[in-house]
Amino acid sequence: MLIPNFVQVTYYSGTRGGTGKTTLAVNTALALPQSLGGRVVLVDLGVDSTDRASRLLGVDSSIPGATDFLMGDVNDVDQIIARSAYLPNSVFVVPPGRYRSYQVIYTDVSVRRILDRWLYMVSAIAMRTRARAILVDLPAQPPQNLLIPVLVASHIINLVMEYSSDVEDVLREIDDEYVKVLAIKVSKVVNVILNKAFPGVDNQEARIRNYAHGGAVITVPMVPEVHFATAVKLKPAILLEPKGQLGAFRKAVDNVVKTITRQVRSILG
Ligand X SMILES: Nc1ncnc2c1ncn2[C@@H]1O[C@H](COP(=O)(O)OP(=O)(O)OP(=O)(O)O)[C@@H](O)[C@H]1O
Applying CB under 6 A, the residues found at the interface with ligand X are 13, 17-23, 46, 50, 52, 139-140, 195-196, 220, 222-223, 226-227, 230-231, 249
User: Quick one: DSSP state of residue 17?
Assistant: -
Strands 39-44 and 131-137: parallel
Cα–Cα distance measured from residue 90 to residue 210, given in angstroms and rounded to the nearest whole number? 35
230 binds, among ligand X, Mg ion, none (CB under 5 to 8 A by kind): ligand X
Closest CA to 129 of 60, 39, 45: 39
- The beta strand positions in 105-233, using DSSP E, are 131-137, 156-162, 189-197, 214-221
In the complex, least distance from residue 55 CB atom to ligand X, rounded to whole angstroms: 11
Q: Are the C-beta atoms of 236 and 27 separated by less than 8 Å?
A: yes
Q: Are the C-beta atoms of 115 and 149 separated by less than 8 Å?
A: yes
In the complex, least distance from residue 246 CB atom to ligand X, rounded to whole angstroms: 10
90 binds, among ligand X, Mg ion, none (CB under 5 to 8 A by kind): none
Phi-psi region of 200 (alpha: psi -120 to 50; beta: other; left: phi over 0): left
In the complex, least distance from residue 138 CB atom to ligand X, rounded to whole angstroms: 8
For residue 55, CA distances in Å to 11, 33, 41, 42 come to: 17, 20, 15, 12
Q: 7 to 26, contacts with Mg ion by CB under 5 A?
A: 21-22
In the complex, least distance from residue 69 CB atom to Mg ion, rounded to whole angstroms: 20
Cα–Cα distance measured from residue 108 to residue 72, given in angstroms and rounded to the nearest whole number? 13
In the complex, least distance from residue 102 CB atom to ligand X, rounded to whole angstroms: 16
155 binds, among ligand X, Mg ion, none (CB under 5 to 8 A by kind): none
55 binds, among Mg ion, ligand X, none (CB under 5 to 8 A by kind): none
Q: Which is nearer to ligand X, 46 or 95 (CB)?
A: 46
In the complex, least distance from residue 239 CB atom to Mg ion, rounded to whole angstroms: 18
Q: Which is nearer to ligand X, 74 or 217 (CB)?
A: 217
Q: Which is nearer to Mg ion, 21 or 132 (CB)?
A: 21
Strands 214-221 and 189-197: parallel
Q: Which is nearer to Mg ion, 22 or 195 (CB)?
A: 22
Residue type, 169: D
Cα–Cα distance measured from residue 148 to residue 25, given in angstroms and rounded to the nearest whole number? 19
Cα–Cα distance measured from residue 256 to residue 152, given in angstroms and rounded to the nearest whole number? 22
In the complex, least distance from residue 54 CB atom to ligand X, rounded to whole angstroms: 12
Q: Which is nearer to ligand X, 129 or 191 (CB)?
A: 191
Q: Are the C-beta atoms of 196 and 18 separated by less than 8 Å?
A: no
Q: Which is nearer to ligand X, 57 or 74 (CB)?
A: 57
247 binds, among Mg ion, ligand X, none (CB under 5 to 8 A by kind): none
Total residues in contact with Mg ion, by rule CB under 5 A: 2
Q: Are the C-beta atoms of 3 and 268 separated by less than 8 Å?
A: yes
117 binds, among Mg ion, ligand X, none (CB under 5 to 8 A by kind): none
Contact residues for Mg ion, defined by CB under 5 A: 21-22
